[in-house]
Amino acid sequence: MSAAISPADAAGAASHARAALAVNRRTGTDRGLAYDFTCPSPDSYPFQWAWDSSYHAIALSRTDPARAAAEIDTLLHGVASDGFLPHMLLWQENLRSRATEDFRIALWNGWTSITLAPPVLARAVERVHEASGDPAWLASALPGATAFFDWLHLHRAEPDGLLTIHQPDESGLDSSSKYDQALGIAETPTAEISPRWHQAMRNLLERYAPGRRPDSAPAGADAFRWVDVLFNTVYADGLAALSRLLTAVRPGDPAAAVYAERSRQVAEALVARCWDDEEGVFWDIDLRTGEQQKVRTVSSLFPILLDAVPDRLAQRVIDEHLLNPGRFWLTHPVPSVAADEPTFDPHFETGAIFRGSSWVNLNWYLHGGLRSRGRYESARELACRTVRMTARSGMRECYDPLTGAGQGATSFGWSSLVLDLMAAEDMTAQARA
Ligand code: GLC
């Protein structure tokens, strides 16, 4: 496939994206507050999810900057007084019981989840500010965003700055096969993966239930304590964004240097603890055993995004893994699990997410990573293949990396990030043609 996109595909992807952003919009008032957010999918995910909303704001910044700012404002209402920003905000009271029943989430403060999502928020604030150029809006958004990043540092950081997560789904990569061993479901037959994963999650939630708080660190062999490379990369990338924003809005504010330093520290700790120089990739760490989890997933590629990760390492990740046609560079990249892993599930046969399908949000980050490493042609190729896949299969939750067929939820919001990929690659003119 060449790095060119037909005007029909560009226009098709853009029109699917705009339609999903329109259909998924939710506005109203709840708890005395007006809300205006985009739900991930009307049927499957009717609430506000934090990293989804951040992606929605990035996509909206290309079509409707005022609505993009409202999306972030609505999300920032979820920042608790101590700075915690939950993964889920259950605005619609009439749907709240469904959240606790269908998603079995433990509620915090009566209306949010008790768990985290990857902190994409800072990148979203930066992008929305770029689009609106409104310093007053930025000044209003920064306190909530910095409070959340401070909360993460205070409550979830190891001494070297790396954050820990307490449940697999705090990384957003719920059923990724990298967690199978820790959940006791390794080598499970395909048909059994989904039920056994759900049972393992129920066991974990029951174990955590007594006195659980978002900031408490569960201990013991039956708890889940994990250094997730993707989560930490998103965090370090967000810290760098916060530092840039503070420098712009409050020149001389020492906090800008603090966030830049934390970002560098996390990148260095990823290299020190997660890099495998033999394999040429980064691995997550199971903190109960202290061991690297050597399952080749998309997380292993993420640190290419971070400037403080040496270029020699990033180029190895790109050449030996990301652009390797036997691993991640498939017809419709980037699969969430490498094609040479025994757990690779391209056709969604497990019905469990992040076990092989390609995801637009992950492509969006990796596209930026490729560009930051000077790999412009590959970045463009990735954008083109993403445009083609979404033009042909619509806004789906994820995609078959071999056929491009859509999988999971329909009218899925964050796949509209394709709008931002097209703008970055200047394909919007083609979409208009
Ligand atoms: C699934 C994903 C999670 C996402 C949510 C809404 O639960 O695992 O990362 O935020 O769906 O799209």
pLDDT tens for 361-418 read 999 999 999 999 999 999 999 999 999 999 999 999 999 999 999 999 999 999 999 9
Q: 407 lies in a domain?
A: yes
Atom 9 of ligand 1, nearest CA residue: 172
Q: State phi, psi for 107 to the nearest 5 degrees.
A: -85, 150
Report the atom number in ligand 1 closest to the C-alpha of 397. Answer: 12
Distance from Cα 176 to the centre of ligand 1, integer Å: 12
The pLDDT score that the predictor gives to residue 75 is 98
The pLDDT score that the predictor gives to residue 2 is 53
Task: Please state the rounded mean pLDDT for residues 288-305.
Answer: 98
Q: In which domain, by residue range, is 413 found? A: 1-24+323-433
Distance from Cα 49 to the centre of ligand 1, integer Å: 7
Q: 42 lies in a domain?
A: no
Distance from Cα 198 to the centre of ligand 1, integer Å: 15
| C-alpha torsion sign, points 162, 115, 401, 19 | negative
Q: 361 lies in a domain?
A: yes
Q: 405 lies in a domain?
A: yes
| Residue 52 Cβ contacting ligand 1 at under 6 Å | yes
Token output for 414 = 């964050």
Q: Looking at the predicted structure, is the pLDDT value of residue 158 above 90?
A: yes
Q: 190 lies in a domain?
A: no
Q: 272 lies in a domain?
A: no
Report the atom number in ligand 1 closest to the C-alpha of 172. Answer: 9
Tell me, what DSSP letter sits at residue 93? G
| Residue 174 Cβ contacting ligand 1 at under 6 Å | yes
Range 224-246 burial, b when 16+ CB lie within 10 A, else e: bbbbbbbbbbbbbbbbbbbbbbb
Alpha carbon 303 to its chain centroid, in Å, reads 14
In the block, residue with structure tokens 């985009």: 38
Atom 12 of ligand 1, nearest CA residue: 40
Q: Which of 106-110, 182-186, 366-370 has the lowest mean pLDDT?
A: 106-110
Distance from Cα 126 to the centre of ligand 1, integer Å: 23
Q: Contact at 8 Å (CB) between 326 and 399? A: no
Q: Looking at the predicted structure, is the pLDDT value of residue 96 above 90?
A: no
Q: 333 lies in a domain?
A: yes
How many domains would you assign to the chain?
A: 1
3-class SS at 214? coil
**pLDDT (tens digit, 9 = 90+) per residue, 235-259?**
999 999 999 999 999 899 999 999 9
Q: 17 lies in a domain?
A: yes
Q: Looking at the predicted structure, is the pLDDT value of residue 104 above 80?
A: no
The pLDDT score that the predictor gives to residue 1 is 46
Distance from Cα 4 to the centre of ligand 1, integer Å: 31
The pLDDT score that the predictor gives to residue 5 is 82
| Residue 118 Cβ contacting ligand 1 at under 6 Å | no
User: Confidence band (pLDDT; 50, 70, 90) for 429?
Assistant: low
**pLDDT (tens digit, 9 = 90+) per residue, 343-362?**
999 999 999 999 999 999 99
Tell me, what DSSP letter sits at residue 373? T
Report the atom number in ligand 1 closest to the C-alpha of 45. Answer: 6
Residues 6+ apart with CB under 8 A from 356: 335, 336, 337, 339, 343, 344, 345, 346, 348, 401
| Residue 51 Cβ contacting ligand 1 at under 6 Å | yes
Q: Contact at 8 Å (CB) between 321 and 333? A: no
The pLDDT score that the predictor gives to residue 6 is 87
| Residue 45 Cβ contacting ligand 1 at under 6 Å | yes
> What pTM does this model have?
0.97
| Residue 46 Cβ contacting ligand 1 at under 6 Å | no
| C-alpha torsion sign, points 172, 54, 411, 388 | negative
| Residue 50 Cβ contacting ligand 1 at under 6 Å | no
Complete DSSP assignment for 294-359:
---BGGGGGGGG-TTS-HHHHHHHIIIIIT-TTTT--SS--BSB-TTSTT--TT-TT--SSSS-B-
